[in-house]
Amino acid sequence: MATMDPRPLIEPGVPPVITGEHTPGSVTDDITRPIFGTTKPWWLVGLAASFALLMLFLMAAAKLVTEGTGIWGLNIPVAWGFAIINFVWWIGIGHAGTLISAILLLFRQDWRTSINRFAEAMTLFAVACAGMFPILHLGRPWLFYWLMPYPNQMSLWPQFQSPLIWDVFAVSTYATVSLLFWFTGLIPDLASLRDRAKNIWIKRLAGIFSLGWRGSSKHWQNYESLYLLLAGLSTPLVLSVHTVVSFDFAISIVPGWHTTVFPPYFVAGAVFAGFAMVFTLMLPLRPLFGLHNFITDRHLQAMAKVMLTTGLIVAYGYIVEIFVAWYSGNTYEWYMVKNRFFGPFAFQYMMLWVCNIVIPQFLWIKKVRTSPWILWLISMAINVGMWLERYIIVVVSLSRDFLPSSWDVYAGTRWDWAVYVGTIGLFMTLIFLFIRFLPVISIFEVRHLAHEKSHH
Amino acid sequence: MSSDQLYGLMAEFPNPETLTEAARRTHKAGYRLVDAFTPYPVEALWEALEHKRSWVPAVVLTGGICGGLGGLTLQYWSSVIHYPMIVGGRPFGAWPGWVVVTFECTILLAAISGLLGMILLNKLPQPYHPVFNVESFRKKASSEGFFLLIESADEQFDHAGTKSFLQGLNPIEVSDVEE
């Protein structure tokens, strides 16, 4: 953690990671204010709107369960439409959280401290949304446990050589480890809530989940050891998850999917999309909760740079795809590329280039990296662009495969859209509940940072 | 108050530096059942109180090895022994396809055993502990207070003597911790 870092926290020419004068007590006060304060009207409005979308999700899911996957636009050849597009999109969004909390912790990037709790929560909720799609896509979601290895009368086992089973293991492990990591980080903060809360229910619930934490130095020693190890375990895990997701495509022989660049390019795309989503949510939250002291311009700049870098890796991926299709001399691959540029989905493909490659180039400009409004607009463009990326990968390749006789067009139906928009409702509902009832910034880590800062 | 109802003596300090110094002197003075409480990790304290190395890494390693071997065994047993079936012309024990699941099982068990290990090694969950009987501890320990505790079970403990020793360390206040 920050104590092991010999570098001063304020470097010449670099904005500080926290501003203002702080004592450990004032940090606690500032961060717990949204929890102990009164309910704000904007929060109620936001929760109500998100909850309405969540109800739309439940309605669409009920319709799907009663009528089957025929209500979606799926058919042969495009048997994997919105379900896989949205699954990959959501799971990618989740990756920024693990990157911020684990990889940046290992790299001793102290600016991560103010945003890791929020990003981890975002990871959990995004993975929850992602998990909905493969399960609903089963058509009989109540049989999802058939994917797990369990002893049964039919002596049936999952096919362990299948990328879809790898997905089951990778995503469920990812969800579990993210939850453990998030909970571990919360334990000392829940103890603070327990000791500060006036409301008896907050006090009791925080008391139960803080496990009787009392901040003994022996506790902290085991705790720090665990925290660092969880970061070390999450780092290869997060890289493996999106690699495995890319195997869903890359292990096949479909033109446009059978590509060795997919694992690194998918991981970079995930981080790109995830940072965009952190921006999308955090930029409005900062003024609403008055968190300018903890989420400073330094954070915006650092995150914008990560976004720019991963965006360039994604651009490299796009170019390599085209180059390899041409260089391989494979007719089907080259047709796929031409079809992307000039076929029925050419508009979506052009928008993908604009959103993911052209617009992020503004991040080279320092003024852009520090202006919240422009950053927010850029991150919205990336959210859309990354969704389009998965759309292009899935739909263009499947709708025009090897045999022209099997070609068909694909479009999502209103139920496809209802499920998709509905999971955004699920995500936002969870986010709204989280920002009201739990500290959005890790209190004990910021205390540590504030202490370090006052001694340099 | 008789001393068998007394859990120990607790002194509060204004910041981690004074607490660390006090802990060092307490340890040097021969007290062994000493604990320090801080609202965020202070690594200098571990040295001052000469904590042994944490067992958490060993627990995580054991969990990871069990998870990896377990995952591999599950796949080998199910696809080679219990229900062998030829898929894609590969041999039954075609292990490269098992790498992903083995890896995920390793990480999963390492992480779960790590968290459980940390909780159990810290003897948590423990909703009741005598230190919470001190009012200033209850109010401040988890946000801004720095506390040092000497347990009455310590061999050198003597209510009056230990109290004056603690007062010699320049604390904000010294309080009795009731059992």
pLDDT tens digit string along B91-117? 888 888 899 999 999 999 999 999 999
**Cβ–Cβ of A177/B108 closer than 8 Å?**
yes
Interfacial A residues in 12-51 facing B (CB < 8 Å): 23-25, 28
What is the average pLDDT value for chain A, to the nearest integer? 88
- Predicted TM-score (pTM) of this structure: 0.90
Nearest to B118 among A157, A226, A448 (CB): A226
Tell me the mean pLDDT in the region A161-182: 92
pLDDT of residue A75: 86
- Report the distance separating Cα A309 and Cα A143, nearest Å: 42
Which one is predicted more confidently, A156 or A169? A169
pLDDT of residue B1: 46
Q: Does A153 touch chain B (CB under 8 A)?
A: no
**Cβ–Cβ of B94/A188 closer than 8 Å?**
no
pLDDT band for A139, please (50, 70, 90 cuts): confident
Nearest to B41 among A191, A207, A224 (CB): A224
- Say what percent of chain A tops pLDDT 70: 96
Q: Counting every residue, how long is chain B?
A: 179
Q: A421 pLDDT exceeds 90?
A: yes
Q: What are the structure tokens assigned to B150, written together?
A: 């000497």
**Cβ–Cβ of A214/B131 closer than 8 Å?**
yes
Nearest to A217 among B35, B88, B94 (CB): B35
**Cβ–Cβ of B141/A219 closer than 8 Å?**
no
Residue written as token pair 């890289």: A239
Interfacial A residues in 162-201 facing B (CB < 8 Å): 165-166, 169-170, 173, 176-177, 180-181, 183-184, 188, 191-192, 194-196
pLDDT band for A33, please (50, 70, 90 cuts): confident
Measure in Å the smallest separation between the Cα of B48 and chain A Cα atoms.
10
| CB contacts, 8 Å: A101 with chain B | none
Tell me the mean pLDDT in the region A374-398: 94
**Cβ–Cβ of B37/A156 closer than 8 Å?**
no
pLDDT band for A3, please (50, 70, 90 cuts): very low
Q: A1 pLDDT exceeds 60?
A: no
pLDDT tens digit string along A42-54? 999 999 999 999 9
pLDDT of residue B153: 87
Residue written as token pair 């509940």: A433
Which one is predicted more confidently, A76 or A180? A180
Top-ranked range on mean pLDDT: pick from A19-28, A411-420, B46-55: A411-420
Q: How many beta-carbon pairs below 8 A join chains A and B?
A: 196
Q: Which of A236, A244, A230, A227 is nearest to A167 (CA)?
A: A244
- Cβ neighbours for A82, distance < 8 A, ≥ 6 positions apart: A72, A73, A133, A412, A416, A417, A419, A420
| CB contacts, 8 Å: B60 with chain A | 226, 229, 233
Nearest to A169 among B16, B90, B101 (CB): B101
pLDDT tens digit string along A62-76? 999 999 888 998 888
Q: What are the structure tokens assigned to A239, written together?
A: 């890289």
Measure in Å the smallest separation between the Cα of A418 and chain B Cα atoms.
33
Helix (H) or strand (E) holding A227: helix A217-250
pLDDT band for B68, please (50, 70, 90 cuts): very high
Tell me the mean pLDDT in the region B34-63: 91
Residue of A nearest to B124 (CA): A211
Contact present, A91 and A130 (Cβ < 8 Å): yes
Q: A7 pLDDT exceeds 80?
A: no
| CB contacts, 8 Å: B86 with chain A | none
Q: Which of B128, B144, B142, B124 is nearest to B177 (CA)?
A: B128
pLDDT band for A286, please (50, 70, 90 cuts): confident
pLDDT band for A285, please (50, 70, 90 cuts): confident
Q: A8 pLDDT exceeds 70?
A: no
pLDDT of residue A13: 58
Tell me the mean pLDDT in the region A430-448: 89
Q: A17 pLDDT exceeds 90?
A: no
- Cβ neighbours for A204, distance < 8 A, ≥ 6 positions apart: none
pLDDT of residue B4: 57
Q: A296 pLDDT exceeds 70?
A: yes
Task: Give the residue from A98, A110, A160 with the most B CB atoms within 10 Å of its CB, the best one to mutate.
Answer: A160
Measure in Å the smallest separation between the Cα of B12 and chain A Cα atoms.
14
pLDDT band for A5, please (50, 70, 90 cuts): very low
pLDDT band for A433, please (50, 70, 90 cuts): very high
**Cβ–Cβ of A233/B114 closer than 8 Å?**
yes
